[in-house]
Amino acid sequence: MPERGKGAWLAQYGLTPSDLAGFTVVVAAYKGGVGKTFLAYEMAYLLGAVLLDLDWDKGNASGAWGYREEQRVNRPLLDALETGRVPRPLAGGPWRPDLVPCAKEFGHNQPSAERMTKTIERWTAQWGQELQCPVVIDTHPGGTPSTFAAVAAGNLVLTPAVLRERDMAATEDMLEELKSYPLLIVPNMVPLSPPERYITRLEHAAGRAQAPIGPEISEYKWLGGRTRRMAVTATDPVPKRASSLVSELHKLGETVVGYARAA
């Protein structure tokens, strides 16, 4: 295990990605723009996981990674679904996760949720065996078969929750509908002094769903303008403005590792 690079962060817990092989973390939310892709990318990097991108829209993890579909001949996700083979992730090198990119056409070419759940389970099991690593899945905003499939196939479902009126209702709906799954709520983009009424609402919704609330990630306005492909947690040295973000992401990663070890 290299001292730096993806998955190296696990070494402080005496772990390597192979100790988490097959463990599947899904990042899902009903609402768009709440930080799913950002959290999926960073968690995949920290865990040394394969990042499976199931979001076909612009601004997806594949785009952040630097994947340009129009420059490629193969469409790993669609080809795998057509042939029944297990997709081989693209190597991300030391500073980006390995990636199974999404294709624009996936939106119109999704299997049913039931079939996709079985497919994802087959893939994650095979990656666990062959590549000896965990899997992180980024999803399209809720209500689409592939998102429900990923949620059903996940060992842990991270649900970013933004404490804003329009996001709150979506979080409440999701917690109610998906409460039978292993959800972990991750308050994201938390302002310095979040309105108390939203915290109370989130706690109530979490309580009703018996879903734990995990470590929160504060709001970092500069993140929106970031164009680098490298994971924030891969930067070395960590720029001053990113240091508290990196430590918050490490805390979240530590919580995820706790679930993976218990599994």
Ligand X SMILES: Nc1ncnc2c1ncn2[C@@H]1O[C@H](COP(=O)(O)OP(=O)(O)OP(=O)(O)O)[C@@H](O)[C@H]1O
- For binding to Mg ion (CB under 5 A), which residues are involved? 36-37
Residue 216 and residue 186: Cα distance in Å, rounded? 6
Out of 145, 219, 238, 255, name the contact with ligand X by CB under 6 A. 219
Asked if residue 231 binds ligand X (CB under 6 A), the reply is no
**Three-state SS letters, 97-156:** CEEECCCHHHHHCCCCHHHHHHHHHHHHHHHHHHCCCCEEEEECCCCCHHHHHHHHHCCE
- Choose one: 2-10, 87-95, 114-122, 217-225; the region binding ligand X (CB under 6 A): 217-225
Out of 37, 124, 155, 159, name the contact with ligand X by CB under 6 A. 37
Work out the burial of residue 241: count CB atoms within 10 Å of its CB; fewer than 13 is exposed, 13-18 middle, 19 or more buried.
exposed
Q: Which amino acid is at 216?
A: E
Output the smallest distance, CB 263 to ligand X, in A.
25
Residue 120 and residue 99: Cα distance in Å, rounded? 14
Asked if residue 251 binds ligand X (CB under 6 A), the reply is no
Of these partners, Mg ion, ligand X, none, which one is at the site of residue 107 (CB under 5 to 8 Å by kind)? none
Cβ distance to Mg ion smaller for residue 34 or 120: 34
Output the smallest distance, CB 160 to ligand X, in A.
6
**Which chain residues interact with ligand X by CB under 6 A?**
32-38, 55, 59, 141, 188-189, 217, 219-220, 223-224
